[in-house]
Amino acid sequence: MRRLVSRGLVAAILVLGASAHAQYLQGAAPPSILIEKLDADARQCGITEDLLDAAVRLPFASANLRINDSALTPYVYVNVNVLRLSSGLCVANVAMDLKRSMWAAPGASRSLIASVWSKGAMLSGGASNFGRRVSDATETFAKQLVGAWLKDN
């Protein structure tokens, strides 16, 4: 019985989360792109800001969605943290969020920046093709974001 109740609560949370997601993507203006600065480990593993920027822009362009480079909000935030081990193995946490300005509460006088869509993954492998793998993961996330955007708008 306890498992059944727990599963019901999880299902309710997932349904509520899905409806909230649609509410926060709906009517969003074209986003800008913010790539978090990469460190030396990322560069040694073949990852560059240009590679990540292209991985985000291509799915938007393919869907005829504009990127507004001068927009403060909303924005697609890409954060890749890389650790290059002495063995040459690269390990990365790849995260993408859509952040936008939201009111803290109905009728509030202040707004805040909230993440309204998010995806992430951990990757590891040799440096020879690691940049391409991180780019592919980033592009996959961008395609999923474009799909959610098109569905909700």
**Residue 10 pLDDT > 90, yes or no?**
no
Mean pLDDT, rounded, for 98-107: 82
The span from the CA of 97 to the CA of 78, in Å, is: 7
32-35 and 75-84 beta bridge pairing: parallel
The residue that leads in pLDDT, 28 or 22, is 28
Of 107, 116, 153, whose CA–CA distance to 24 is shortest? 116
pTM of the model: 0.81
* pLDDT score of 101: 85
Mean pLDDT, rounded, for 63-88: 93
> Is there a contact between 98 and 71 (Cβ–Cβ < 8 Å)?
no
Please provide the average confidence, as pLDDT, over all residues in the chain: 84
Question: Cα dihedral sign for 84, 87, 89, 92?
Answer: negative
The span from the CA of 142 to the CA of 131, in Å, is: 16
Sequence-separated (6 or more) residues with CB below 8 Å from residue 61: 67
Does the N-terminal peptide bond of residue 74 adopt cis geometry, omega within 30 degrees of 0? yes
* pLDDT score of 21: 53
> Is there a contact between 62 and 23 (Cβ–Cβ < 8 Å)?
no
Mean pLDDT, rounded, for 6-13: 35
Describe the chain by its helix, strand, coil percentages, rounded to 5: 45, 30, 25
